[in-house]
Amino acid sequence: MFDKILIANRGEIACRVITTARRLGVRTVAVFSDADAGAKHVRLADEAAHIGASDVTESYLKGDRIIEAALKTGAQAIHPGYGFLSENPQFVQAVADAGLTFIGPSADAITAMGLKDAAKALMVTAGVPVVPGYHGADQDAAFLSGEADKIGYPVLIKARAGGGGKGMRLVEDPADFGDALAAAQREGQASFGDPACLIEKYITHPRHIEIQVCGDSHGNVIHLFERDCSLQRRHQKVIEEAPAPDMPDAVRAAMGKAAVEAARAINYVGAGTVEFIVDGSGPLREDGFWFMEMNTRLQVEHPVSEAITGLDFVELQLRVAAGEALPVQQEDLTINGWSMEARVYAEDVPKGFLPATGTLHHLSFPNGTAFERGSVRIDSGVDQGDEISPFYDPMIAKVIVHAPTRAAAASLMASTLKDCRIAGCVTNVEFLTALARHDGFRRGEVDTGLIARDLEALTAREEGDATTEALAAVAALDVVDENVGWAAMAGFRTWGPAAHSVDLMNGGDVQTHRVTLLGANSFDVDGTVLTIAPQPSGWRVTSEGQTFAAHVVRYDNTLAVFRDGRCDVFAVPDPLAQDTAEAGGSDAVTAPMPGVVSQVIAAAGDMVAKGDPLLILEAMKMEHTLRAPRDGTVAEVMCATGDQVSDGIILLQMDPADD
């Protein structure tokens, strides 16, 4: 086993690797950019090395600096995590040339599977079924459009070097093919330095099922069963589970055999995943799955497979890379219970899952441990007080649950998400909670189109009730103490109960509330009577005959009220602050997040209709199309292609609407 390893990554996966390394007595070296100087993975590691500026191209993608840091610190091996350089064969070869060990497959294996077109050709030779499509080198737009016509719509355009949903477009109408291809090529170039794309038949009721594999240098290759990753949005996974719902033993055996054959075809050593697209229009069939791609690294969702097998996959990676044989054989493996993972992101779901930024003023998850029945496990790369920056993936945490049955796991996931409390930036927790409660999901009726079909219901949000706003008004008084409650307000008054006027904003105008103290723990807020017992874990509230738990967090001039899995945010206006109404009003198109303007579509004087594309903003390596807020004329474009813009800045102004 190694004495010291360097982790060429950041965030959650770097922390995950450190956890296992520490358990095995292996020292760790973290690397960090300017933006990550105080990050959690840096705080956890035994040592840390600065490798460059905040942009990934100047830090986490600088293989030479990472290798130099490994040599200077005496690390014997480099763990790549996932993303960044984890599937870069040139980096893998450079690591070997420097006399270090790469904790992963060989450069040749990565090259064989690195480009989707070449990988599919290899799989055909190995006898693994592949999706019909065009995987050739000709990238002429007219030619590719003709190939799409031959395949038959709908088709999926995929950057051949892509992953994580980047460089991928679903096209249902031939008229949209050209624009979709151009967008996929731009994302492929921006994310992977390769604009080339392939075209595939889109399976209309697809399920995304992948097989975890692991091989060693002694000729052993095993599969560790399947994961169902069908719950996706924008081709990115949202909730994963293992095993897959309604998986017949015969299909599991066939898919496992195909995955092992795929790994053997490239002499695979290390942990990896073979991904299949599966026909979900009916019962799963032995002839109803097709090879999609192989991820030659550890997957984000690997914890669900760890939970059902009881194995630590990072430990397997370390042992195999150190030359040891796999400690288990295929016949030793069995499926124990059911596991699910939900990815908690800083993102604005109602605004199309736009990535968000902000400081995590409050971060609280239910406590849990891994690999126990009915257990909860939280894998996170941030702590309370950390910042979600615009430079990297906005993942906050992975919530992993494990229970004896799928129904129990789904219930545990829903209840766990309900108790996740995050304040300081917008998150997808409420959306995930709704998804975990979704009837179709609970029945196991999952496919990659479920979220899109039911998005309106999954994102529906009722107006906050009077009780929640009343809680915020009481909290705005800011006099509670978990030990003495509201005693500070309970003194004798000659002229009756104490009353206070409280102003709050909740996404609109200022609302004034009258808060009257009725007793030591009782309040009347605009006619709503509350009895509030403060406790270290939150408030115990009784109102209108019902008792429930609530948690209120205050930071700056903001109040976040957590109740039954929902977070309502209120602002306490500063009477000395000037009016900061949004400049430009509804006639302005603003940047929804920090990013780079990758394309300016509209020009001053253009007549546009509501919903027409005006600009394309690239943020976190994804393209976001900004559209016309109404019919009208473009008055001024206030940005240019290549501009780096900040959140909220006006990019385009419309002419005033006619009265």
- For residue 540, indicate whether it is catalytic: no
CA nearest neighbour of 559 among 568, 550, 548: 568
27, 160, 233, 297: which is the annotated catalytic residue?
Answer: 297
Token pair 């390394």 in the structure block, residue:
21
What are the residue ranges of helices labelled H in 540-610? none
| Alpha-carbon gap, residue 453 to 459, rounded angstroms | 12
CA nearest neighbour of 237 among 458, 461, 12, 450: 450
Are 552 and 472 in contact by the 8 Å Cβ rule? The answer is: yes
Sort 50 into a burial class: Cβ within 10 Å, 0-12 / 13-18 / 19+: middle
Give every strand in the sheet of 595-600, ordered side by side: 622-627, 613-619, 595-600, 644-645
Strands 354-355 and 347-348: antiparallel
Are 201 and 134 in contact by the 8 Å Cβ rule? The answer is: no
Rounded to 5 degrees, φ, ψ at 649 are: -70, 140
What does the block give as tokens for 283? 């019962």
**Rounded alpha-carbon distances, angstroms, from residue 468 to 25, 427, 500, 541, 572:** 49, 19, 18, 11, 15
How far, rounded to the nearest angstrom, does the alpha carbon of residue 78 sit from its chain's CA centroid?
25
Q: What is the 3-state secondary structure (H, E, C) of 251-264?
A: HHHHHHHHHHHHHH
**Rounded alpha-carbon distances, angstroms, from residue 166 to 137, 191, 411, 605:** 20, 7, 32, 33
**Rounded alpha-carbon distances, angstroms, from residue 306 to 220, 225, 343, 587:** 19, 10, 16, 51
Which secondary structure element, helix H or strand E, spans residue 401, and what is its range? strand 395-403
Task: Just list the catalytic residues.
Answer: 297
